């Protein structure tokens, strides 16, 4: 059995603030250590499971080179390097040859009340991404692409709101491990690393035991995506990319034949919108 572990940072143990999330932030070094701790717990548990033959870890936050590879166990490999050189963003290199997807360190979608560091892909741009009329967060976006490949999500760790949201999309029987409970958008009651590592290990083993009961999350095409931006300027910039229709002051809508096409086009649109113009073009 081949196991793919997609990792974000906002939903990892002890992470509560932007200072821990970006290079240059005064606590970023500790943030990387904390993220790596959750990832190591998940990877070690998967590698210890009898039928597992391969574990791939994918760094899926920000610069996408946060995880400390020197701490990862022998037998796992790591996808590292920026989104601009990837096709599938947080699940880069996931293919039909993998059997299950695990999501570690995930957070709730943009605008979720009672959630820590909630956003959808690019927090500074996106107010909401909705798919066929339903708002989707990163867990559902990645689960849908995995679903097109026939791969189920079997495990999610993150803050309580991320776990609740993941179960709402993927089924109440999904194994989830909440590592903290939000008190506000930048504060939480956090469990300690030894406790969350033990919970993640147990959760991964439980999820692998129960994997046969889990179905891939399939969103049949055609798929209509509506991206709402925080302001009109951003929607103006996004609307210069061909193929999307302006459906509101701050919203663009487009349709794709499959969910995977829709997810890739959504990321491409955001990357396009976020791209810095050279000084002389501003």
Task: Mark the segment that binds Zn ion (CB under 5 A) among 4-12, 41-49, 77-85, 163-171.
Answer: 4-12
Q: Please, which residue, 52 or 270, has the CB nearer to Zn ion?
A: 270
Q: Please, which residue, 9 or 47, has the CB nearer to Zn ion?
A: 9
Q: Please, which residue, 47 or 137, has the CB nearer to Zn ion?
A: 137
Q: Please, which residue, 98 or 121, has the CB nearer to Zn ion?
A: 121
Site for Zn ion in 42-81 (CB under 5 A): 61
Q: Please, which residue, 143 or 235, has the CB nearer to Zn ion?
A: 143
Task: Mark the segment that binds Zn ion (CB under 5 A) among 6-14, 40-48, 65-73, 264-272.
Answer: 6-14
Closest contact distance (angstroms) between CB of 60 and Zn ion is 7
Closest contact distance (angstroms) between CB of 9 and Zn ion is 5
Task: For Cα atoms 31, 32, 35, give the angle at the middle one, nearest 5 degrees.
Answer: 85
Does position 201 bind Zn ion by CB under 5 A? no
Closest contact distance (angstroms) between CB of 7 and Zn ion is 9
Q: Give the CB-nearest residue to Zn ion.
A: 61
Closest contact distance (angstroms) between CB of 279 and Zn ion is 29
Closest contact distance (angstroms) between CB of 52 and Zn ion is 26
| 16 within 8 A of 188, measured Cβ to Cβ | yes
Taking the C-alpha atoms of residue 106 and residue 270, their distance in angstroms, rounded to an integer, is: 20
Q: Of these, 3, 5, 6, 8, which contacts Zn ion (CB under 5 A)? A: 8
Paired tokens of 212:
């046969």
Total residues interacting with Zn ion, rule: CB under 5 A: 4
Q: In the complex, which residues of this chain contact Zn ion (CB under 5 A)? A: 8-10, 61
């Amino acid at each position: 059995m081949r196991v793919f572990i997609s990792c974000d940072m906002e939903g990892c143990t002890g992470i509560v603030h932007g200072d821990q999330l970006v290079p240059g932030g005064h606590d970023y070094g500790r943030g990387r250590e904390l993220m790596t701790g959750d990832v190591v717990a998940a990877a070690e548990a998967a590698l210890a499971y009898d039928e597992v033959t391969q574990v791939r870890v994918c760094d899926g936050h920000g610069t996408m080179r946060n995880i400390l590879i020197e701490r990862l166990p022998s037998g796992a490999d790591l996808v590292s390097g920026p989104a601009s050189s990837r096709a599938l963003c947080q699940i880069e290199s996931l293919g039909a040859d993998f059997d299950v997807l695990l999501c570690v360190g995930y957070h709730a979608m943009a605008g979720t009340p009672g959630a820590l560091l909630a956003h959808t892909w690019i927090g500074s741009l996106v107010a909401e991404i909705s798919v066929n009329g339903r708002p989707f967060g990163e867990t559902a976006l990645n689960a849908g692409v995995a679903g097109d490949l026939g791969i189920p999500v079997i495990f999610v760790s993150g803050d309580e709101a991320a776990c609740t949201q993941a179960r709402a999309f993927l089924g109440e029987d999904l194994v989830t491990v909440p590592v903290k409970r939000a008190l506000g958008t930048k504060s939480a009651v956090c469990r300690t690393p030894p406790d969350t590592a033990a919970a993640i290990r147990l959760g991964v083993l439980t999820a692998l035991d129960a994997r046969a009961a889990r179905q891939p999350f399939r969103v049949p095409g055609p798929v209509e995506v509506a991206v709402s931006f925080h302001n009109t300027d951003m929607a103006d910039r996004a609307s210069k990319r061909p193929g999307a229709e302006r459906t509101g002051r701050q919203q663009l809508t487009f349709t794709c034949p499959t969910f995977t096409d829709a997810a890739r086009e959504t990321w491409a649109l955001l990357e396009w919108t976020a791209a810095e113009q050279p000084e002389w073009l501003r």
